[in-house]
Amino acid sequence: AQKVTQAQTEISVVEKEDVTLDCVYETRDTTYYLFWYKQPPSGELVFLIRRNSFDEQNEISGRYSWNFQKSTSSFNFTITASQVVDSAVYFCALKDGNNRKLIWGLGTSLAVNP
């Protein structure tokens, strides 16, 4: 069965600290896609990144970076030099060929304090 686990329910950091949000997934399919979304207090889900199972290259976008490791079924998200505006709930999600619906983790609530 497909599953996404975000073990960290809440994280609190001080501004400028680096923070890593963990995501572990389960799937038996060889073709799948992983996603990260940000949900700020306003509620709207903002798409951050999509990664397919055949591309294990890490990605960097400004202060954001993602580490995809198939060997450990993980797709972790790091924010470098965090800012107060990064405070939000972050969701990791999985979509595979067996179940084309998005399977969501429960989210990690990140609080960045000034």
Partner 1 sequence: DGGITQSPKYLFRKEGQNVTLSCEQNLNHDAMYWYRQDPGQGLRLIYYSQIVNDFQKGDIAEGYSVSREKKESFPLTVTSAQKNPTAFYLCASSIQGRLQETQYFGPGTRLLVL
Give the span between the Cα atoms of 106 and 32, in whole angstroms: 19
C-alpha 78 chain-centroid distance: 9
Q: Quick check: 95 binds partner 1 (CB under 8 A)?
A: yes
Shorter beta-carbon distance to partner 1: residue 18 or 29 = 29
DSSP 91: E
Q: Exposed, middle or buried, 96 (CB in 10 Å: 0-12/13-18/19+)?
A: buried
Please count the other Cβ atoms lying within 10 Å of the Cβ belonging to residue 68: 20
Would you call 86 helix, strand, or coil by DSSP? helix
Q: Quick one: which of 1, 41, 42, 62 contacts partner 1 (CB under 8 A)?
A: 42
When asked if residue 61 is in the footprint of partner 1 (CB under 8 A), the reply is: no
Question: Least CB distance from residue 92 to partner 1, whole Å?
Answer: 9
Among positions 9-38, residues that touch partner 1 (CB under 8 A) are: 31, 33, 35, 37
Residue with smaller CB distance to partner 1, 47 or 57: 47
Q: Which residues bind partner 1 (CB under 8 A)?
A: 4, 31, 33, 35, 37, 42-47, 50, 52, 91, 95-97, 100-102, 104-107
